[in-house]
Structure 1
Amino acid sequence: MLPAYTGTAVRAAEQPLLDDGQGDALMRRAAWGLAQHVLAELRRRGPVAGSTVAALVGSGNNGGDALWALSFLRRRGMRAVAVPVADRLHDDGHAALLAAGGQVGEQVPSGTAVVIDGILGTGARGAFELPDGLVLPEGVTVVACDVPSGVDADTGQVLGEVIPADVTVTFGAVKAGLLLGAGAQAAGRVELVKIGLGPHLGAPDLVSAQETELRAVFAPPRWDDHKYSRGVLGVAAGSEQYPGAAVLVCRSALNCGLGMVRLAAPEGVRQLVLAAAPEVVAQDEVGGKATAWVCGPGLGEDGSARDRLAAVVALAAKQALPVVLDASALSLVSLGQVRRMRAGGAVVVMTPHRGELVALARRLGADAGLDAKHWEAELDTDPVCAVRELAQALDVVLVAKGPSTLIVPPEPEGSAWVQTEGGAELATGGTGDCLAGLIGAALARAQTGSPREMAVAVAAAVRLHGTAGSQAGQDGPFGASVLPDQIRSVIATAAGSRWRR
């Protein structure tokens, strides 16, 4: 699990140390760590000796970090050039650079291998404008100091221009803005340098599932497992108009180590699914033994769709089964049905993309006490807070799908999860059906737990889905039908030899 904090929280954690006179020590620790990561980037490019490193330097502490890093690099034999973008430089950092034999120049030298972005830090707000005449050499590696200039460290917003980084070296704690929206896209690979803030940080504002969670949720079977103990997923999906959605849900669920999939669908959909996965137990009505249900992919919006949704709701409420509501189910389900399932002890997971999220807030939010108009404005400025408010209003786990996917339980004390794996390669029809199958499988394997506990399994499923999409995209364009096999490959790699005994 990777914890992340807003820039505001990190500055608050720094304050006791600053009050204790440790500001210079914090800056040197940060700068030393930054210099080590710059050296690592130089080694990736080729010989280090004689390389040129430049820094775009602002007037604040972020600029001071960059100047001290340049001084350390200069002492390792690099040519170090500071390019001021403000009227003044950090005094001690400037002195350290000059004492080490570094230079101050008016522009980034041609042939520079690495440029450090040290213009703005975590306290920056508002729109950022690139320095006049800024030209970076072709092929240069950009390393951001703490956050890329132009990124809001709290929310990931980019209101003006931004300097995209190949690597962001962040200090004390990973900033939430590096994992959200445009900020995540601008940050590149994020590397953390610990500077001693741990005892002062408190609970994280965001967490992100890592390989540890993926391996735990999608672990190989124990020696005494059987198909029922490995989880049974019920699927109400597919229709005459959208039969393939059921295939994608079922194959994705089966390929992540589930014990059984039980499908409730019309005859034509059942035949299509059985041709692709004959191990699926196919039936025409919702029912039978299951430890979780997925409802909605390709379901349509006719009477049959409503009947299948109502049957899943009744079963979940009666047996306290976790339910994933996706696609068609998001536009069909009523607030009363959600409350019925929750009253029966069922964990309800909703998986909307941006448009569906707004539609949910408008359609169900008013009855749940949400000011939809205010909420929509907040969704742009503080997406974590907005998604949390809707999750609490509906009493569900919300999976707000996008470039940064948020997974938020309804409990006020529950951590919000964010996953940034995958990207635009997943923006193709059917990939959401695959994700619904993975989330359903994760819940079926977990079988019981609070919404907060189930959110961990959901986050692991989102990570698995994004990783599979990213790997599939390395071979070129693809359709969603390749994802189930790629999912199997990701799990086998993560689990290592345990799946290859």
Structure 2
Amino acid sequence: MNEIFSSEEMKRFEQGQFLKRSSYSFMQKAGDQIFKFINNRFKNKRPIIVLCGPGNNGGDGFVVARHLMDHGYSVEVYIFAGANNYKGDALTALKEFRGELKKINLFKLQKNALIVDALFGIGLKRNIKGILSKIFRKINQSKNTVVSVDIPSGVCSNTGKILGNAIKADFTITFHRKKIGHIFGFGKQFSGRIQVVDIGFSPRKAKTRCYENSPDLWVKYFPWKKPFGHKYSRGRVIIYGGQKEFTGATILSAQAALRTGTGSVKIACSKDTLPIYSVKFPSVLKTEMNSIFQLENFLKKEKITSFLIGPGSGSNKNIKEITKLILKKVKYVVLDADALTCFQDDLKTLYSLLDKNKIITPHSGEFHKIFPNIKKNLNNIDKAISAVKLIKSNIILKGPSTVIVSHNKRIVINDHASSELAVIGSGDVLSGLVVSLVGQKKINPFLAGCAATWLHGDIAKHYGKGLIAEDLVQGIPGALKRLKKWKTY
């Protein structure tokens, strides 16, 4: 399943489940699943340290510790709260454990011991400090393997932010669904390998605002080339060409669009750039255009599936007028880079021209130029949602975990990516992917943004180190082949 829960959504879901069955039965199942993971994953019975917090996460830890001791493991249990401070299911689990308890301030790190982090779960809101902060640093500096229960202690489950300090896990065992903090912000790197386990919750869908990007969301709508289609039935993309020194950006976008599946790409270029495109990219169509009046006539006559403007276009008054004209005359438009920032001093006009058929693709710097009143200290989900409320359009907010939000506030987080994508030209390729997929007989801008972002990340993940933008273009056919085999991939 692709749903990702916030801590509040997960708690509401759990409360509904607890009406049907004892909440402690779910804690027992959670502990059992973590024990099975440890027992199956680590064959040599190494010593195990279980860190138990004051709440239900700690209760899960007591259940794990009991199972481990029953199966002959050497187990040490450290508690953060006094034994008489436990209540509810956590107290029941503590009583059933019946083993020795040590206070957390006496913590000693054994070499080669496996650490089970059951200190704090998805409800943590306060910062980690004092003795716990010192213990977390010691664990993170060691070579000990760490298994975290639900989410690494110290990671905010709603934002992925580190709350003062956090344990860096090798594995995180979470229940029912991933949480936002697992794949967002620093939580992504602190969670290690995430395993979602079933603890007996009913499979019914829960209300959530966030989804993890996956072909499951959009592959059935993907505009594959049809056996009897021709080049124009596969889409006619127009890309507004960049300035002379930035023609490379336009070429990357055009190559990406053609490789992704559109049948025709035409670059609108000037007399200065036409010779460059003719030499550098012979197969793409070109049309010379030296004034906004020529563009207006072109838009009246040309059949256009989708239009991309921004890569290398330059941020100036002329580009602003050209972008305004395109937004008014063309239904499906992708706006990137300079086509956004040229409105920095006229945001009202930009907002008014965007609608559900348009999609913007800013990185963080561009985002804050066109949304200066959205606070920089917000997480990218809240930033993108705030932006959509202003523009009533679709947005791809690029970053380590890219956020795609639809005009009607559907949220998708793309975790299928690589840090290698932080390279010049990468965004130009992404915008080419998007414009190739969007259109009347293709898919809507939001799903196109989800599909393009996933393919973009998939290429990078398979390529590895040393990636440059041209490698992304070359990797499109392989990514499409993998996508075609999605159910077995």
Q: What TM-score bracket applies, with the shorter chain setting the length?
A: 0.7 to 0.9
Percentage identity across paired residues of the two chains: 24
Residue of 211, 219, 230 corresponding to 2:234: 230
Distance in 2, Cα, partners of 1:60 & 1:433: 48
Structure 2 CA distance for partners of 1:5 and 1:252, relative to 1, 3 Å: same
Match of 2:313 in 1: 299
1:327 aligns with 2:322: no
Match of 1:116 in 2: 116
Structure 2 CA distance for partners of 1:201 and 1:313, relative to 1, 3 Å: closer
Structure 2 regions of 5+ residues with no counterpart?
A: 290-294
1:458 aligns with 2:458: no
1:393 aligns with 2:382: no
Task: Give the match's secondary structure for 1:93.
Answer: helix
Distance in 2, Cα, partners of 1:75 & 1:457: 52
AA partner of residue 403 (structure 2): L
Structure 2 CA distance for partners of 1:222 and 1:96, relative to 1, 3 Å: farther
Match of 1:384 in 2: 381
Per-residue Cα deviation, 1:241-271 (whole angstroms, up to 9, x for no partner): 3111011111222222222212112345444
Task: Give the match's secondary structure for 1:255.
Answer: helix
Residue of 404, 407, 415 corresponding to 2:404: 407
Per-residue Cα deviation, 1:147-199 (whole angstroms, up to 9, x for no partner): 11111212222231111222221113221222322222322332212334446
AA partner of residue 473 (structure 2): P
Residue of 258, 271, 279 corresponding to 2:283: 279
Residues 7 and 175 in structure 1, CA contact (< 8 A), matched pair in contact too: yes
Residues 248 and 434 in structure 1, CA contact (< 8 A), matched pair in contact too: yes
Structure 2 CA distance for partners of 1:125 and 1:497, relative to 1, 3 Å: closer
Residues 218 and 491 in structure 1, CA contact (< 8 A), matched pair in contact too: no
Structure 1 vs Structure 2 CA RMSD: 2.9
Residues 143 and 167 in structure 1, CA contact (< 8 A), matched pair in contact too: yes
Distance in 2, Cα, partners of 1:457 & 1:235: 17
Task: Give the match's secondary structure for 1:468.
Answer: helix
Residue of 255, 268, 274 corresponding to 2:259: 255
Per-residue Cα deviation, 1:284-304 (whole angstroms, up to 9, x for no partner): 235433211111010012455
1:470 aligns with 2:470: no
Distance in 1, Cα, partners of 2:335 & 2:486: 35
Distance in 1, Cα, partners of 2:206 & 2:167: 30
1:107 aligns with 2:108: yes
Distance in 1, Cα, partners of 2:212 & 2:160: 15
Per-residue Cα deviation, 1:208-228 (whole angstroms, up to 9, x for no partner): 221334644556423222223
Distance in 1, Cα, partners of 2:274 & 2:39: 57
Distance in 1, Cα, partners of 2:310 & 2:286: 16
1:487 aligns with 2:459: no
Task: Give the match's secondary structure for 1:407.
Answer: strand
Match of 1:290 in 2: 304
Structure 2 CA distance for partners of 1:338 and 1:33, relative to 1, 3 Å: same
Match of 1:369 in 2: none
Residues 154 and 176 in structure 1, CA contact (< 8 A), matched pair in contact too: yes
Structure 2 CA distance for partners of 1:18 and 1:484, relative to 1, 3 Å: same
Task: Give the match's secondary structure for 2:116.
Answer: strand
Post-superposition offset of 1:237: 3.4
Match of 1:45 in 2: none
Post-superposition offset of 1:402: 1.0
Structure 2 CA distance for partners of 1:144 and 1:276, relative to 1, 3 Å: farther
1:438 aligns with 2:420: no
Post-superposition offset of 1:408: 1.1
Using structure 2 for the length normalisation, give the TM-score: 0.85
Post-superposition offset of 1:341: 5.6
Task: Give the match's secondary structure for 1:203.
Answer: coil
Using structure 1 for the length normalisation, give the TM-score: 0.83
AA partner of residue 389 (structure 2): Q
Post-superposition offset of 1:313: 2.1
Post-superposition offset of 1:131: 4.3
Distance in 2, Cα, partners of 1:462 & 1:386: 18
Post-superposition offset of 1:330: 0.6
Structure 2 CA distance for partners of 1:233 and 1:69, relative to 1, 3 Å: farther
AA partner of residue 295 (structure 1): I
Structure 2 CA distance for partners of 1:430 and 1:446, relative to 1, 3 Å: farther
Structure 2 CA distance for partners of 1:438 and 1:217, relative to 1, 3 Å: farther
Match of 2:292 in 1: none
Post-superposition offset of 1:120: 0.6
Post-superposition offset of 1:35: 2.5
Match of 1:67 in 2: 62
Residues 223 and 437 in structure 2, CA contact (< 8 A), matched pair in contact too: no
Post-superposition offset of 1:95: 4.3
AA partner of residue 349 (structure 2): G
Post-superposition offset of 1:139: 3.4
Moved over 6 A (4+): 101-105
Residues 324 and 353 in structure 2, CA contact (< 8 A), matched pair in contact too: no
Distance in 2, Cα, partners of 1:67 & 1:4: 27
Match of 1:245 in 2: 249
Residues 236 and 309 in structure 1, CA contact (< 8 A), matched pair in contact too: no
Task: Give the match's secondary structure for 2:148.
Answer: strand
Match of 2:24 in 1: 24
Correspondence list, 1:96-245, <5 A: 96-98=96-98, 106-112=107-113, 114-129=114-129, 130-133=132-135, 135-136=138-139, 138-198=142-202, 202-213=206-217, 215-216=219-220, 218=222, 220-245=224-249
Distance in 1, Cα, partners of 2:320 & 2:117: 54
AA partner of residue 327 (structure 2): V
Structure 1 regions of 5+ residues with no counterpart?
A: 43-47, 363-371
AA partner of residue 305 (structure 2): T
Structure 2 CA distance for partners of 1:497 and 1:416, relative to 1, 3 Å: closer
Structure 2 CA distance for partners of 1:184 and 1:53, relative to 1, 3 Å: same
Task: Give the match's secondary structure for 2:120.
Answer: coil
Per-residue Cα deviation, 1:383-431 (whole angstroms, up to 9, x for no partner): 42332121121111111111121111222xx421111222432222111
Post-superposition offset of 1:229: 2.9
Post-superposition offset of 1:275: 4.1
Residue of 50, 53, 72 corresponding to 1:55: 50
Distance in 1, Cα, partners of 2:441 & 2:169: 38
Post-superposition offset of 1:274: 4.4
Distance in 1, Cα, partners of 2:280 & 2:170: 41
Residues 222 and 442 in structure 2, CA contact (< 8 A), matched pair in contact too: no
